[in-house]
Structures are given as C-alpha cells and as structure tokens.
C-alpha cells in the first residue's frame, strides 16, 4: 500500500503525530490511533518509525496494535461501514443489512472493495440500540434501517464519490 512515492508523506504525518504527543511513550495508543485516522489503517512503516522514535521495540508497538480491535493492520477503504450486529439490532434485522451491503459491494465482512472505496465491518453495539438496526459510515450514524434504506445510503456515497 505504501510505496516510495508516498513514504515521505507517511514519515511527515507520523512525525507530526509524534510531535503532537511530545514523543511520550505512554501516549503510544493515542499516537497509533491518530496515525490510523490519517491512513484508515496502521501501515507497518509507521509502526516501525514510531518504535524507533519512541525508542521501544517494534514488537511492543505491534503487540498493542494487535491487542486492540480498534486497530487495523490491513489497508481499508476510504469509507468504513460498520453495521451493528448486537442483540438489539440483530432482532430488528441487522443481519439483513449486512447481507445487503455485502451483496451490493460484492465483498464479505472484513473486506475492502478493489477500488479501495469501501470496507465492511460489523460491531457488537454502537450505543444507539433504540435506533436499531444501525450502521455507521466514517462516524456518521444511520438508524432505523431497512435493506432499502441502507442501500439508498450506500448509493448516495457512491454518487458523491463519482462526482468528486
């Protein structure tokens, strides 16, 4: 994912994040979260740089990154779709929302479309149970979903993307 053309950009962003946290080892999780916000995943080159700059072992950075499910070591799409499959959403058809989006994007849960636009993930609860079924796309909540409504929302992202 990261090639020679954008390695400099990766170094600049990683350095800026490290600076923001004054290169403090105890801020490792926040540093990794900020880096992930920039790239939508944690590039291994950034983890190596963080380890070097904080003077800690790469394996320790990697251990943190793999321990917390919030981190992704795999490249993810521009839009991350999280569909809730927790109990409250499940009983209202959350699984059907997942199935519909899988079908529309032609990917499974945990996968990213070939054009790197969409990643589909599921979560156990989004803290909005009363609105179930719920999905979140890049932090934007969509509730009381039907398969039709979920697809309309998905298509609106595709249209928006095609227009840019």
CB proximity list for 150: less than 8 A, separation 6 or greater = 83, 97, 100, 101, 135, 142
What CA–CA distance (Å, rounded) separates 117 from 136? 15
If one asks whether residue 136 binds ligand FES (CB under 6 A), the answer comes out as no
Q: Of the candidates 13, 83, 132, 154, which one interacts with ligand FES according to CB under 6 A? A: 132
Quick one: how far is CA 16 from the chain centroid?
21
Identify residues 57-96 at the interface with ligand FES (CB under 6 A). 84, 86-89
Which of 32-40, 61-69, 125-133, 151-159 is the region at the interface with ligand FES (rule: CB under 6 A)? Answer: 125-133
CB proximity list for 163: less than 8 A, separation 6 or greater = none
Least separation in angstroms between CB 86 and ligand FES:
3
Which of 16-24, 44-52, 120-128, 153-161 is the region at the interface with ligand FES (rule: CB under 6 A)? Answer: 120-128
What CA–CA distance (Å, rounded) separates 25 from 7? 23
Residues of this chain that bind ligand FES (CB under 6 A): 84, 86-89, 125-129, 132, 134
């Amino acid at each position: 994912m990261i090639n020679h053309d954008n390695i400099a950009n990766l170094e600049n962003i990683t350095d800026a994040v490290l600076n923001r946290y004054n290169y403090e080892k105890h801020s490792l999780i926040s540093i990794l979260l900020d880096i992930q916000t920039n790239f939508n995943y944690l590039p291994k080159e950034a983890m190596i740089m963080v380890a070097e700059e904080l003077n800690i072992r790469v394996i320790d950075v990697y251990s943190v990154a793999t321990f917390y499910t919030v981190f992704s070591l795999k490249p993810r799409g521009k839009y991350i779709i999280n569909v809730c499959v927790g109990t409250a959403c499940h009983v209202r058809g959350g699984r059907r929302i997942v199935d519909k989006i899988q079908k529309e994007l032609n990917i499974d849960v945990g996968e990213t479309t070939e054009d790197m636009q969409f990643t589909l993930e599921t979560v156990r609860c989004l803290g909005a149970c009363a609105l179930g079924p719920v999905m979140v796309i890049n932090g934007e909540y969509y509730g009381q979903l039907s398969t039709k409504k979920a697809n309309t929302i998905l298509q609106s992202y595709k249209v928006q993307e095609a227009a840019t």
